Amino acid sequence: MAMHGMRGLSVFISDIRNCQNKEQERQRIDKELGNVRNRFKNEKGLSPYEKKKYVWKMLYIYMLGYDVDFGHMEAVSLISAPKYPEKQVGYIVTSCLLNENHDFLRLAINTVRNDIIGRNETFQCLALTMVGNIGGREFAESLAPDVQKLLLSSSCRPLVRKKAALCLLRLYRKNPDVVNVDGWADRMAQLLDERDLGVLTSSMSLLVALVSNNHEAYWSCLPKCVKTLERLARNQDIPQEYTYYGIPSPWLQVKTMRALQYFPTIEDPYTRRTLFEVLQRILMGTDVVKNVNKNNASHAVLFEALALVMHLDAEKEMMSQCVALLGKFIAVREPNIRYLGLENMTRMLMVTDAQEIIKRHQAQIITSLKDPDISIRRRALDLLYGMCDVTNAKDIVEELLQYLSSADFTMREELSLKAAILAEKFAPDLSWYVDVILQLIDKAGDFISDDIWFRVVQFVTNNDDLQPYAAAKVKEYLEKPAVHETMVKVSAYILGEYSHLLARRPGCSPKEIFGILHEKLPTVSTTTIPILLSAYAKILMHTQPPDQELQSQIWAIFNKYESCIDAEIQQRAVEYFALCQKGAALMDILAEMPKFPERKSSLIKRAEYSEADTAEQSAIKLRAQQQPSNALVVTDQPPANGATSPVPVGPLSLAMVPSMITTEDHTSTDPALSQQNGSLTKVDPQHPSADLLGDLLGPLAIEGPPGATVQSEYNAVSRLEGGPDAVDGSAIVPVEEQRNTVQPIGNIAERFHALCLKDSGVLYEDPYIQIGIKAEWRAHHGRLVLFLGNKNTAPLVSVQALMLPPAHLKMELSLVPDTIPPRAQVQCPLEVVNLRPSRDVAVLDFSYKFGTNMVNVKLRLPAVLNKFLQPIPVPAEEFFPQWRSLSGPPLKLQEVVRGVRPMPLPEMANLLNSFRLMICPGLDPNPNNLVASTTFYSESTHAMLCLIRIETDPADRTQLRMTLASGDPTLTFEYVPKTSHEHVKFKTLVLTDFSHIPSAG
């Protein structure tokens, strides 16, 4: 019908359709564009009908992918046409062609508003729809009250109100202030009483957007959602028009269950029971039926119900029902169900205890890795990656390796990266890790990024036992006929450093190793040749007694490359040649590379698909770390090589360029300082607080590499690290992010103090994320799990967690994905080893991005000294001899603490108990005193008995005297401060809890 009025348009469309090729199409379109442009030029003469026709042509041309850079004004002007057909075209075409920032839109605001507040409900609908699709901030500011009025108006018909709901949703997203939470929550709840399913469907979408930002405000909507769901699930009062293949609006059911997933729990027992009954019904009552549409619709509901059950952390029985269902799904024929089964099983990994049950399906999941459908293969890969742990790493990684040879090219990079990460994270032994990486390079060299081979080199360098094994292994690979260039690189590096360890084995003389390597030289590119040259130089150095023939051979090569056009190669050739003449100096400069500082795997950092902005952001972070620090740290070793350069690949690539010119003396560490390992006498300089960050980041390199060889080829910042005190508790207190616009929920400091006493709880929360923590402590080991929970429907991206451990803790944080999927929770295990007593606090530098909000927080982790205590009862006959034998400083220290919150003695005893101190009743004759004992564990002290006596003054309960004795002066010192200026620090660790936690114990 409508086409009758637009013959020109249908002719044009037919013409386009008849075009034989793209060129013809373009000609026809150019002609039409010229025609339309001409018509628009003398706009006065155009009737509304003609305008409408040309505007449709524009839309059609635009849809075909041709730029239409004129006529926008005409489209917008149709909005103010008095008649419905023209107005409709104006609205629809405008919302297709223009974006919210287009200037012309602004011109239309008044017309749009008049339509919205006018009496014509079809006009209202058109206007609301356009604003709902492309309305920007200005629309939000000028129209929100009108739209809200329509949505709530009882005189308005559903067809207008449903559009008003989604229009408001758009305006709310553009400017959240348009919805006043206080007033709106009740109205939202009221809206959910709506009987009309159209209005209810769009209101539910509005609710989802609102609760995802602030569930607290919308508690009153929760029972209404359950009621709606119940109404649908029981098919009560659902008009025929809203049932789809017999199922009451599956879309509204799904949306309602989605809204429910934003409420953390359901406390009201009645609501909870009702909901679980409905869910149970869905879980049990969904059968496979012949009709594909009905089947899909009922399974759409079922999968959403599964997600809701997982979210609610339902009873064990219901959970296992879910896993059983998913287990069934991943084995069915129907590919959609198989895909969704795998996808939801991956989500299920977040649920406590589910992992073990999921592992039973490992064989089936591995089968899916070979599915003909890449979508399914990807899901299987993700699931395998997620479910991998130490128990099944070997199986899974080997499966991945096997699959690598046949995998699609599009998946190989991801696959090899994941295999490399899993091998690193869960390697039962390091030689297996080396095997895996070498296999990866062998099978998929093209897809192996440099990070992967850098990482294996780091491991080999840092583990002496591994070196001969790795050297022998790479030699085997090199002997193969065709070798990937990456393999040549890694082999050259490892053989250069460690082939001398094999010298006694047959076929491994320096000459033979050189021969194998040199054979590859003609096949490699200019980036690899420098590595080969370094390897030659090192082989030559290790050849004892010198082999004249080998020497002249290698010298000849250096000679040859002295005139190489590639500057890097040339420089190395010249330098190595010159060095070789120097004899002894060669030994120093080419000495074995020092151990790399412990650092987080750069692989893990880029585990997830990283977006460009992530890279940029981490660059900022890296720069921050490079800021020079004037902090002083005393470590076990004088830092021979201040290699704290945090650029993941930095040291390695740099290390291969021994530049002799800058032989700076990096051993200038004050020997007096270094002797005083953790000594107590040194008073460290006061740092200006502006340098806090630098101080914090200073000790990132956990320990300086041993062996003070002159290995300082690169111009590293000669950072003498900061003493333990540089990073003490008090220094960290003010670090909480200042610039964040996102406000944390609850008090971060209080949460930290609470966690110092408890082993699980919330560490941090803001509107987008909740970070929970759960810890287990055994002797000097700690195993923490960070639970990163995304509270939104949108993913959190650029997630980064960086551990800033103090010098006394060795910490290893497992993979933190770059992205946390919507409403998902990620668990990140964190291993802690306590090396020696210190009350410094570890800091987690955590950042993420949500929308345009970049959030960065520095959170103290409750890996505090008292976590490494184990209460132990000490009988009187042992206590007193011990107490007496530890006489006076530095083994026994005393401190008077003032300003403590007065508390009865039993309460204080409880508090001490929660600090893992064992109260020994009756030992002290004075009933106002408390005596306690405990064992402190660290790698350096092992189990160390610690005795504590607290004397209180019944006349003044705000002060107490604390005496602490242990066999280790550092421990005693770290536990008890001795001078008043230390007071503050002391309080931050222990006594803040006395005074600040009202209900401790």
In the region spanning residues 370 to 429, those forming contacts with another protein, defined by CB under 8 A, are 372-373, 375-376, 378
Residue type, 618: S
10 interacts with another protein by CB under 8 A: yes
Q: 58 vs 960, which CB is nearer to another protein?
A: 58
- 106 to 470, 719, 756, 763: CA distances (angstroms): 68, 58, 56, 46
Residue carrying the six token digits 């003389």: 509
Residues 280-299 that bind another protein (CB under 8 A): 293, 296-297, 299
What is the C-alpha to C-alpha distance for residues 415 and 403, in angstroms, rounded to an integer? Answer: 9
What is the C-alpha to C-alpha distance for residues 652 and 657, in angstroms, rounded to an integer? Answer: 9
Q: Is 7 annotated as a binding residue?
A: yes
585 interacts with another protein by CB under 8 A: no
What is the C-alpha to C-alpha distance for residues 43 and 39, in angstroms, rounded to an integer? Answer: 7
Question: Which of 745, 963, 588 is closest to 214 using CA atoms?
Answer: 745
CA torsion sign for 642, 643, 647, 648 is: negative
> Which stretch of DSSP H or E encloses residue 964?
strand 956-966
Q: How far is the CB of 9 from another protein (least distance, A)?
A: 9
Distance of CA 731 to the CA centre of its chain: 26
> Which stretch of DSSP H or E encloses residue 936?
strand 929-938
Residues 68-127 that bind another protein (CB under 8 A): 83-85, 88-89, 92, 96, 99-100, 122, 125
Q: How far is the CB of 310 from another protein (least distance, A)?
A: 13
* Cβ partners under 8 Å of residue 470, min gap 6: 434, 456, 460, 494, 498
Q: 240 vs 662, which CB is nearer to another protein?
A: 240
Residues 20-49 that bind another protein (CB under 8 A): none
What length does the chain have? 1001
- 84 to 109, 160, 339, 645: CA distances (angstroms): 18, 16, 46, 68
254 interacts with another protein by CB under 8 A: yes
Question: Which of 862, 810, 837, 904 is closest to 992 using CA atoms?
Answer: 862
| Chosen residue from 21, 47, 65, 852 binding another protein by CB under 8 A | 65
Residue 829-858 contact track with another protein, rule CB under 8 A, x = bound: ------------------------------
255 interacts with another protein by CB under 8 A: yes
Q: Is 55 annotated as a binding residue?
A: yes
Question: Which of 99, 93, 60, 100 is closest to 74 using CA atoms?
Answer: 93
Residue type, 772: G
Q: How far is the CB of 294 from another protein (least distance, A)?
A: 9
Question: Which of 745, 787, 789 is closest to 765 using CA atoms?
Answer: 745
Q: How far is the CB of 358 from another protein (least distance, A)?
A: 20
| Chosen residue from 74, 304, 725, 840 binding another protein by CB under 8 A | 304
201-209, 484-492, 840-848, 873-881 -> range binding another protein (CB under 8 A): 201-209
Beta strand 825-834 with 809-813 is antiparallel
Q: How far is the CB of 304 from another protein (least distance, A)?
A: 6
What is the C-alpha to C-alpha distance for residues 930 and 909, in angstroms, rounded to an integer? Answer: 7
Q: How far is the CB of 112 from another protein (least distance, A)?
A: 15
13 interacts with another protein by CB under 8 A: yes
* Cβ partners under 8 Å of residue 755, min gap 6: 761, 763, 773, 862
Dig out the tokens for 828 from the structure.
Answer: 């990140």
What is the C-alpha to C-alpha distance for residues 726 and 105, in angstroms, rounded to an integer? Answer: 58
Question: Which of 536, 485, 492, 533 is closest to 511 using CA atoms?
Answer: 536
Any idea what the Cα angle at residue 813 is, between residues 758 and 473, rounded to 5°? 145
Q: How far is the CB of 6 from another protein (least distance, A)?
A: 8
Q: How far is the CB of 375 from another protein (least distance, A)?
A: 5
Q: How far is the CB of 249 from another protein (least distance, A)?
A: 6
Q: 823 vs 949, which CB is nearer to another protein?
A: 823
Q: How far is the CB of 794 from another protein (least distance, A)?
A: 8
Q: How far is the CB of 87 from another protein (least distance, A)?
A: 11
Residues forming beta bridges with residue 244, ordered by sequence position = 247
- 730 to 29, 169, 696, 987, 989: CA distances (angstroms): 71, 45, 12, 9, 9
Q: Give the three-state DSSP class for 956.
A: strand
202 interacts with another protein by CB under 8 A: yes
Residue 751-790 contact track with another protein, rule CB under 8 A, x = bound: ----------------------------------------
Q: Is 332 annotated as a binding residue?
A: no
26-34, 52-60, 650-658, 752-760 -> range binding another protein (CB under 8 A): 52-60
Confirm if 898 and 952 have CB atoms less than 8 A apart. no
658 interacts with another protein by CB under 8 A: no
Number of chain residues interacting with another protein (CB under 8 A):
76
Residues 917-946 that bind another protein (CB under 8 A): none
Q: Is 56 annotated as a binding residue?
A: yes
Gyration radius (Cα) of the chain, Å: 35
303 interacts with another protein by CB under 8 A: yes
3 interacts with another protein by CB under 8 A: yes
Q: 63 vs 324, which CB is nearer to another protein?
A: 63
Q: 254 vs 357, which CB is nearer to another protein?
A: 254
Q: Is 242 annotated as a binding residue?
A: no
Q: How far is the CB of 62 from another protein (least distance, A)?
A: 7
Q: How far is the CB of 604 from another protein (least distance, A)?
A: 21
CA dihedral angle for residue 297, residue 302, residue 305, residue 307, rounded to 10 degrees: -100
Q: How far is the CB of 299 from another protein (least distance, A)?
A: 5
Q: How many Cβ atoms are within 10 Å of 530's Cβ, its own excluded?
A: 22
Q: How far is the CB of 613 from another protein (least distance, A)?
A: 13
Q: 96 vs 289, which CB is nearer to another protein?
A: 96
Residue 179-198 contact track with another protein, rule CB under 8 A, x = bound: ------------------xx
Residues 807-826 that bind another protein (CB under 8 A): 821-823
Residues 222-251 that bind another protein (CB under 8 A): 239, 241-242, 244, 249-251
Residues 119-178 that bind another protein (CB under 8 A): 122, 125, 129, 132-134, 159, 162-163, 166-167, 169-170, 173
> Which stretch of DSSP H or E encloses residue 892?
strand 892-897
| Chosen residue from 1, 363, 672, 955 binding another protein by CB under 8 A | 1
CA torsion sign for 207, 211, 215, 217 is: negative
Residues 310-369 that bind another protein (CB under 8 A): 335-336, 338-340
| Chosen residue from 793, 894, 959, 995 binding another protein by CB under 8 A | 793
Q: Is 49 annotated as a binding residue?
A: yes
Q: 615 vs 660, which CB is nearer to another protein?
A: 615
Q: 147 vs 490, which CB is nearer to another protein?
A: 147
Residue 447-486 contact track with another protein, rule CB under 8 A, x = bound: ----------------------------------------
Q: 60 vs 477, which CB is nearer to another protein?
A: 60
| Chosen residue from 58, 75, 188, 252 binding another protein by CB under 8 A | 252
What is the C-alpha to C-alpha distance for residues 802 and 842, in angstroms, rounded to an integer? Answer: 11
Dig out the tokens for 849 from the structure.
Answer: 């991005």
DSSP letter, residue 79: T
Q: Is 560 annotated as a binding residue?
A: no
- 192 to 25, 35, 187, 205, 223: CA distances (angstroms): 51, 52, 9, 11, 10
Dig out the tokens for 290 from the structure.
Answer: 């012949």
Q: Is 650 annotated as a binding residue?
A: no
Residue carrying the six token digits 């998902």: 824
* Cβ partners under 8 Å of residue 257, min gap 6: 229, 301, 304, 305, 307, 308
Q: 171 vs 478, which CB is nearer to another protein?
A: 171
List the binding residues: 7-8, 49, 53-57
